[in-house]
């Protein structure tokens, strides 16, 4: 067992060999890469486990307030490298594996990404868990142990094809099954009143079984738990009679039925069955988590009034919004507290984070489905609504509307704090979707601008830059990221800037070599790497980006010798399987890339590449190699963005709109180090009211008109000329996301980017200033904000 100092490669080697033998049952001569990866993971896990126990003991001894982060999604990515980096054992592991004749990078890359999330919201939850551990906050993350995480994406003739993700089918070293932590949960049935109390008798039951993964913070000073729930059948559900009668498949049906709840992340919710399943998932993990939280509270305290002093539950978006009525149900129906007191206690415990103002993402449930699955909760929601109405007779807002339950309003009413995720977004919450509720509860809405963990998003993914920073200012920046400002005086030192430049260049060369080997595309690392990586969505405007690329291609063809700045446009991102317009944008980018990259006149200056299967690991590869970060959403639509922070931190310059956290990034790095374009959120609203806004924009910009024509006339789909006519018509017609109206200014800003990139010294100074001034965007700072303004909890290290 590894008990020596972390830096000790020999001890590491012994620990790996120990686990290879006793955990994997293999000798070195017959071990596969996967065996080596598992042996190393077990060796690291041993180290984490000791620290995990110590943290848990300390939390119990201190009877400290715990923070519970409830999230449908945790996009954690690979855990082995994270553990090695945070325990500062990466060098020892590299040395040990090399001595054992293994390729360390390949062993680490053997781990599948845990993709239990869709995008920003899930990745934020993962960064928060790491920061909670780094800061030593007693905390647990609660979510669902999906058997299948986010689908894998392939391209067939440029089209997105989805295949199931299977992370759990490969050995996984990080989780511990907790046979003792199981809760029986009900759905459906009826409610009766007995002795003045409502009693809910569900007619369907399922068991939630806990699986724990330790999350270790920086330098291993603290470790918290991510507890994920897996659905199991409530009864011994193997039907022996059916089996004996020869119905082997029917015999396992009850078990399969129960397990469906935790089978897959975000089932298709375009069908009725999908909707029922989604609400079941939400109640399943929320109720299991609350039972677990109450069990822990009851084991430590006997005064229920202490609940808000000892328990903080954060709702990551409305997905766990049922926590409000469920906690009221536990306190009122089960524990017998008066209804009003139950509401007050629940509200004291709950906080709600809103992550989007897009109407289609603000959950509303049909009363019918709700009534069928959670009849008692519907009654409780009505009482909460009535109580709110009584307290605010002049109110104009309700949780219930005929036929629907509004989860945003429910979360707002049941939380003592409601937060947005950037200054702009929080401001818009107050003037749009929650305007009326903000008037009634003026102190409830607070802002907590998102952040990212510098351990994963710098130290681990960009080790050379991390090393230069540490060599320059010491390693204090890793736990106090704002100390990056101490780099600033060095930026004027030509030698230091040369080192910074060489690192960016080496990261780009590494990415270029990988793209050549894995995807057969050749790119020159001296060209500008212009990167847009995020989910596909019309509001994120990947179509604005490709339209600009098409216009640029046309212009270079007209005038090839005009001294163009060579550029590689890199895209990556997945579209929801049922979001056909977004899938067509992917296909357009792929089709356009084929034509543009094959053009011998222009391909010295412009290439377009769409990398398949975007995930956390691909982000870790791309971000350190980026020169330009595309953050071009329609203003008012991107709540915050977090990729934008990772790019700035790693020395990419942003081209962006005044949207989400872009606004604060620009303030921090300085407007002269940021390429701003486009309308503000207010101008967007005004522009939409102008009839024919797109046609007007097109009439005044021949470049835009020509690029749209190329999309419309089949330039990129000669075998099917009409393939993209609907995209062209959308951009030239209703254009809700104002692609046409922002195009001219986007083009202008892109040409300013070209000019700036030609002066490499000046560009690199701007890039280094982005790194030096991005320290505020650490998730450690964000978590401190929640501790102060929302959770009122303390740190124990």
Binding site for ligand C3B (CB under 6 A): 118-121, 124, 317, 355-356, 361, 421, 450, 638-642, 660
Helix (H, G, I), strand (E, B) or coil at 359: helix
Q: Which of 426, 642, 654, 715 is catalytic?
A: 642
Nearer to ligand C3B, 160 or 642 (CB): 642
Q: Which of 607, 646, 668, 703 is catalytic?
A: 646
* Spatial contact of 548 and 739, defined as CB atoms under 8 Å apart: no
User: Where do we find the tokens 């780094």?
Assistant: 134
Q: Which of 355, 574, 637, 712 is catalytic?
A: 355
Whether 569 sits among the annotated catalytic residues: the reply is no
* Spatial contact of 310 and 63, defined as CB atoms under 8 Å apart: yes
Provide the minimum distance between the beta carbon of 540 and ligand C3B in the complex, in angstroms, as a whole number: 9
Whether 583 sits among the annotated catalytic residues: the reply is no
Nearer to ligand C3B, 450 or 501 (CB): 450
Provide the minimum distance between the beta carbon of 584 and ligand C3B in the complex, in angstroms, as a whole number: 21
Helix (H, G, I), strand (E, B) or coil at 317: coil
Provide the minimum distance between the beta carbon of 121 and ligand C3B in the complex, in angstroms, as a whole number: 3
Nearer to ligand C3B, 47 or 426 (CB): 426
Provide the minimum distance between the beta carbon of 412 and ligand C3B in the complex, in angstroms, as a whole number: 16
Give the phi and the psi of residue 232 in degrees, each rounded to 5. -130, 160
* Strand-pair category, 400-401 with 364-366: unpaired
**What own/partner pairs with CB < 8 Å and gap ≥ 24 does 616-620 have?**
616/75, 616/76, 616/77, 616/78, 616/113, 616/115, 616/123, 617/77, 617/78, 617/109, 617/113, 618/533, 618/572, 619/533, 619/643, 619/646, 620/77, 620/456, 620/457, 620/460, 620/461
Beta-carbon contacts of residue 445 (< 8 Å; ≥ 6 apart): 417, 418, 419, 420, 426, 429, 430, 434, 438
Q: Please list, residue by residue across 596-623, b when 16 or more beta carbons sit within 10 angstroms of its beta carbon and e when fewer do.
A: bbebeebbebbbbbbbbbbbbbbbbbbb
Provide the minimum distance between the beta carbon of 373 and ligand C3B in the complex, in angstroms, as a whole number: 21
* Spatial contact of 652 and 630, defined as CB atoms under 8 Å apart: no
Beta-carbon contacts of residue 517 (< 8 Å; ≥ 6 apart): none
CA-closest candidate to residue 656, choices 629, 624, 620 = 629
Whether 607 sits among the annotated catalytic residues: the reply is no
Q: Which of 540, 569, 607, 668 is catalytic?
A: 540
Provide the minimum distance between the beta carbon of 361 and ligand C3B in the complex, in angstroms, as a whole number: 5
Provide the minimum distance between the beta carbon of 717 and ligand C3B in the complex, in angstroms, as a whole number: 30
CA-closest candidate to residue 113, choices 146, 71, 158, 162 = 146
The residue at minimum Cβ distance from ligand C3B is 120
Please tell me the distance from the alpha carbon of residue 688 to that of residue 250, in angstroms, as a whole number.
Answer: 56
Nearer to ligand C3B, 635 or 766 (CB): 635
Nearer to ligand C3B, 448 or 590 (CB): 448
Please tell me the distance from the alpha carbon of residue 20 to that of residue 450, in angstroms, as a whole number.
Answer: 41
* Spatial contact of 362 and 433, defined as CB atoms under 8 Å apart: yes
Q: Where are the beta strands (DSSP E) in 581-666?
A: 606-611, 628-631, 653-656
CA-closest candidate to residue 211, choices 174, 167, 265, 260 = 174
Q: Which of 395, 535, 604, 706 is catalytic?
A: 535
Please tell me the distance from the alpha carbon of residue 43 to that of residue 549, in angstroms, as a whole number.
Answer: 49
Q: Which of 534, 668, 712, 723 is catalytic?
A: 534
Whether 355 sits among the annotated catalytic residues: the reply is yes
Nearer to ligand C3B, 602 or 640 (CB): 640
Provide the minimum distance between the beta carbon of 410 and ligand C3B in the complex, in angstroms, as a whole number: 17
Angle made by CA atoms 589, 594, 598, in degrees to the nearest 5:
140
Nearer to ligand C3B, 447 or 603 (CB): 447
Nearer to ligand C3B, 450 or 657 (CB): 450
Whether 182 sits among the annotated catalytic residues: the reply is no
**Helix-helix angle 90-99:33-62, to 10 degrees:** 150
Beta-carbon contacts of residue 475 (< 8 Å; ≥ 6 apart): none
Whether 646 sits among the annotated catalytic residues: the reply is yes
Would you state the structure tokens that stand for residue 489, as one six-digit string? 């005086």
Provide the minimum distance between the beta carbon of 425 and ligand C3B in the complex, in angstroms, as a whole number: 8
Nearer to ligand C3B, 55 or 118 (CB): 118
Provide the minimum distance between the beta carbon of 678 and ligand C3B in the complex, in angstroms, as a whole number: 17
Nearer to ligand C3B, 357 or 704 (CB): 357
Residues designated catalytic: 355, 534-535, 540, 642, 646
């Amino acid at each position: 067992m590894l008990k020596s100092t972390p830096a000790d490669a020999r001890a590491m080697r012994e620990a790996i060999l120990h686990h290879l033998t006793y955990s994997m049952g293999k000798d070195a001569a017959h071990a596969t890469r996967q065996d080596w990866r598992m042996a190393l993971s077990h060796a690291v896990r041993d180290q984490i486990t000791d620290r995990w126990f110590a943290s848990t003991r300390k939390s119990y001894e201190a009877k400290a307030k715990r923070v519970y982060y409830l999230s449908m999604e945790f996009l954690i990515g690979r855990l082995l490298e994270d553990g090695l980096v945070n325990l500062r054992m990466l060098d020892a592991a590299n040395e040990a594996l090399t001595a054992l004749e293994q390729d360390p990078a390949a062993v680490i890359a053997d781990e599948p990404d845990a993709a239990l999330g869709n995008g920003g919201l899930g990745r934020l939850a993962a960064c928060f868990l790491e920061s909670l551990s780094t800061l030593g906050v007693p905390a647990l993350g609660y979510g669902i142990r999906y058997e299948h995480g986010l689908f894998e994406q392939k391209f067939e003739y440029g089209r997105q094809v989805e295949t199931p993700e299977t992370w759990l089918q490969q050995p996984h070293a990080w989780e511990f099954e907790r046979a003792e932590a199981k809760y029986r949960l009900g759905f459906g049935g009826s409610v009766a009143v007995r002795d003045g109390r409502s009693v809910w008798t569900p007619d369907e039951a399922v068991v939630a079984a806990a699986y724990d993964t330790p999350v270790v913070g920086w330098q291993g000073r603290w470790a918290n738990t991510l507890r994920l729930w897996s659905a199991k059948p409530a009864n011994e559900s193997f039907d022996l009679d059916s089996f004996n009668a020869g119905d082997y498949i029917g015999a396992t049906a009850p078990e399969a039925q129960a397990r469906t709840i935790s089978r897959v992340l975000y089932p298709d919710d375009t069908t009725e069955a999908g909707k029922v399943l989604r609400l079941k998932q939400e109640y399943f993990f929320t109720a299991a988590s609350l039972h677990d939280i109450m069990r822990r509270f009851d084991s430590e305290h006997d005064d229920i009034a202490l609940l808000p002093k000892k328990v903080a539950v954060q709702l990551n978006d409305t997905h766990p919004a049922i926590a409000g009525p469920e906690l009221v149900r536990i306190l009122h129906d089960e524990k017998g507290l008066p209804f009003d007191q139950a509401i007050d206690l629940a509200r004291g415990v709950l906080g709600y984070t809103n992550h989007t103002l897009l109407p289609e993402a603000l959950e509303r449930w049909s009363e019918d489905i709700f009534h069928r699955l959670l009849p008692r909760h519907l009654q409780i929601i009505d009482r909460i609504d009535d109580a709110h109405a009584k307290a605010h007779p002049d109110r104009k807002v309700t949780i219930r509307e005929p036929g629907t339950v509004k989860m945003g309003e429910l979360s707002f009413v049941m939380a003592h704090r409601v937060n947005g995720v950037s200054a702009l977004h929080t401001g818009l919450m107050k003037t749009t979707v929650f305007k009326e509720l903000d008037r009634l509860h003026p102190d409830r809405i607070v802002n907590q601008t998102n952040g990212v963990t510098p351990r994963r998003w710098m130290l681990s993914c960009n080790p050379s830059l991390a090393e230069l920073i540490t060599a320059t200012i010491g390693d204090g920046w890793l736990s106090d990221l704002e100390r990056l400002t101490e780099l600033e005086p060095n930026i004027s030192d030509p030698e230091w800037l040369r080192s910074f430049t060489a690192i960016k260049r080496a990261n780009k060369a590494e990415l270029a070599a990988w793209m050549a080997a894995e995807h057969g595309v050749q790119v020159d690392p001296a060209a500008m790497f212009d990167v847009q990586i995020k989910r596909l969505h019309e509001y994120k405007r990947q179509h604005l980006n490709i339209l600009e690329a098409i216009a640029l291609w046309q212009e270079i063809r007209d005038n090839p010798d005009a001294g163009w700045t060579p550029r590689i446009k890199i895209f990556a991102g997945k579209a929801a399987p049922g979001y056909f317009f977004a899938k067509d944008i992917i296909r357009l980018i792929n089709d356009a890339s084929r034509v543009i990259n094959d053009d011998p006149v222009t391909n010295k200056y412009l290439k377009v590449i769409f990398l398949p299967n975007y995930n956390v690991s691909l982000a870790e590869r791309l971000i350190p190699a980026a020169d330009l970060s595309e953050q071009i959403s329609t203003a008012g639509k991107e709540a915050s963005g977090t990729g934008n922070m990772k790019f700035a931190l790693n020395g990419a310059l942003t081209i962006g709109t005044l949207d989400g956290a872009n606004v604060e990034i620009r303030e921090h790095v300085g407007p002269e180090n940021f390429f701003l374009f486009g309308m503000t959120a207010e101008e967007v609203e005004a522009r939409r009211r102008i009839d024919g806004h797109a046609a007007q924009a097109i009439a005044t910009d021949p470049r835009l008109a020509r690029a749209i024509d190329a999309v419309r006339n089949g330039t990129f789909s000669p075998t099917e000329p009409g393939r993209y006519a609907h995209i062209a018509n959308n951009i030239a017609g209703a254009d809700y996301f104002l692609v046409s109206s922002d195009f001219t200014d986007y083009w202008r800003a892109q040409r300013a980017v070209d000019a700036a990139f030609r002066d490499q010294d000046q560009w690199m100074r701007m890039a280094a200033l982005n790194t030096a001034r991005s320290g505020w965007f650490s998730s450690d700072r964000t978590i401190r904000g929640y501790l102060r303004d929302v959770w009122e909890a303390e740190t124990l290290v």
